[in-house]
């Protein structure tokens, strides 16, 4: 084995998990408002709004440098965090992708206005012309409810978003428009901008079930997952295969798929069990390791 190949093999065994997950913040963002020509590029917030009289209609724009997005990603997520929410109401948001080479894909946040974005349109019900965006429809939608406090994060994730993100040429920006389809005259909603306390984030990653970075996906990785099962604030090394911060049944399913796909035996699953803390989640856990839980119940019954 050459030194280069040996080094690559060692790197592979060490399993640098961070190379599978990339989280980006915008290189630029801003919000535009109908009948308002203020420059909002340096605002610590971005805003969306949809009014009956159209005057305060607001749409936000985000630009990312996407060159480091893993092309084999399994999931892509876009998230924004509420920074202000008065006269709150239940709201639905639409995340649109600006096509490669489309108008203002490389927008100048300091110059963007409602009149010159190329996409904003007060005559349609969601303030943007859907047909001009990638795929002619929202890549993903997100919701908040009136009770959501400041600090609530809204996450957008869908196959269309994943496709948009992974198909982006590395020479091209990843740019988005965020609008709301909810018409509400008095609501005042802001999300933190790139200049704010909790910036918008675009993440893309491959599932990683080799939690210890050693020897592929093995029973040792299951032990790690079990030891952190139902923990929040978790990282991949704790068993969080899908990078959502929680170790749960979804991560177990991913581990199981990878374990069996890598030649692990079904028989090896027989003796495994996971904590079952509450009835609501036990249905999932039972589905994961039926035999193990059935055995435990039988033992308890005797």
Cα 17 to Cα 28, 30, 38, 71, 245, distances in angstroms: 28, 33, 43, 15, 14
Residue carrying the six token digits 């927008």: 107
- Assign 26 to helix, strand or coil: coil
Task: Please state the closest distance from residue 234 (CB atom) to Ca ion, in A.
Answer: 7
Task: Please state the closest distance from residue 144 (CB atom) to Ca ion, in A.
Answer: 21
Q: Does 238 bind Ca ion (CB under 5 A)?
A: no
Task: Please state the closest distance from residue 215 (CB atom) to Ca ion, in A.
Answer: 5
Residue carrying the six token digits 């389809």: 181
For Ca ion, the closer CB: 14 or 214: 214
Q: How many residues bind Ca ion (CB under 5 A)?
A: 18
Among 182, 251, 285, 288, contact with Ca ion (rule: CB under 5 A): 251
For Ca ion, the closer CB: 105 or 181: 105
CA atoms of 175 and 239, how far apart (whole Å): 32
Among 17, 21, 29, 285, contact with Ca ion (rule: CB under 5 A): 29
> Are the beta carbons of 141 and 94 closer than 8 angstroms?
yes
Task: Please state the closest distance from residue 40 (CB atom) to Ca ion, in A.
Answer: 7
Task: Tell me the helix, strand and coil percentages in the chain, rounded to 5.
Answer: 25, 25, 50
Question: Tokens at residue 97, please?
Answer: 């992708």
For Ca ion, the closer CB: 184 or 252: 252
Task: Please state the closest distance from residue 36 (CB atom) to Ca ion, in A.
Answer: 16
For Ca ion, the closer CB: 85 or 205: 205
Q: Does 157 bind Ca ion (CB under 5 A)?
A: no
Q: Does 60 bind Ca ion (CB under 5 A)?
A: no
Query: Which residue sits closest to Ca ion, CB atoms considered?
Result: 172
Stretch that binds Ca ion, among 29-37, 156-164, 265-273, 283-291 (CB under 5 A): 29-37
Cα 265 to Cα 81, 82, 127, 212, 285, distances in angstroms: 43, 46, 54, 20, 19
Site residues (CB under 5 A) for Ca ion, limited to 129-148? none
> Are the beta carbons of 206 and 21 closer than 8 angstroms?
yes
- Residue 180 burial by Cβ neighbours in a 10 Å radius (0-12, 13-18, 19+): buried
For Ca ion, the closer CB: 31 or 93: 31
What does the DSSP assignment read for 193-250? -TTSSS--EEEEE-----TTSSSSS-HHHHHHHHHTTT-BS--GGGT-TTSSSB-SHH
Among 23, 56, 92, 100, contact with Ca ion (rule: CB under 5 A): 100
For Ca ion, the closer CB: 128 or 234: 234
Site residues (CB under 5 A) for Ca ion, limited to 203-232? 210, 212, 214-215, 218, 221
Give the binding site for Ca ion (CB under 5 A): 29, 41, 100, 168, 172, 193-194, 210, 212, 214-215, 218, 221, 240, 242, 244, 246, 251
């Amino acid at each position: 084995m050459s030194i280069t190949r040996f080094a690559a093999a060692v790197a592979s065994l060490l399993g640098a998990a961070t190379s599978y997950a990339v989280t980006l913040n915008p290189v630029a963002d801003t919000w535009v408002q109908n009948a308002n020509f203020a420059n909002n590029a340096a605002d610590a917030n971005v805003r969306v709004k949809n009014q009956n009289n159209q005057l305060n209609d607001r749409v936000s724009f985000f630009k990312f440098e996407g060159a480091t997005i893993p092309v084999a990603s399994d999931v892509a997520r876009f998230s924004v965090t509420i920074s202000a929410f008065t006269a709150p109401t239940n709201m639905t948001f639409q995340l649109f992708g600006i096509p490669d080479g489309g108008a203002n894909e490389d927008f100048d946040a300091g110059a963007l206005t409602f009149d010159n974005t190329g996409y904003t349109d007060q005559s349609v019900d969601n303030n943007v012309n859907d047909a001009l965006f990638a795929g002619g429809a929202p890549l993903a939608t997100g919701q908040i409810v009136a009770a959501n406090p400041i600090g609530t994060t809204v996450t957008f994730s869908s196959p269309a978003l994943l496709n948009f993100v992974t198909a982006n040429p590395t020479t091209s920006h990843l740019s988005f428009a965020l609008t709301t389809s909810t018409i509400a005259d008095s609501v005042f909603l802001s999300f933190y901008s790139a200049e704010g306390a909790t910036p918008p984030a675009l993440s893309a990653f491959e599932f990683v079930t080799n939690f210890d970075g050693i020897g592929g996906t093995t029973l040792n990785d299951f032990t790690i997952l079990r030891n952190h099962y139902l923990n929040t604030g978790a990282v991949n090394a704790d068993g969080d295969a899908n990078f959502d911060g929680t170790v749960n049944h979804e991560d177990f399913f991913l581990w199981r798929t990878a374990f069996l796909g890598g030649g692990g035996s079904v028989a090896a699953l027989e003796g495994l069990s996971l904590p079952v803390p509450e009835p609501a989640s036990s249905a999932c856990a039972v589905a994961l390791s039926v035999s193990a839980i059935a055995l435990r119940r039988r033992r308890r019954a005797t």
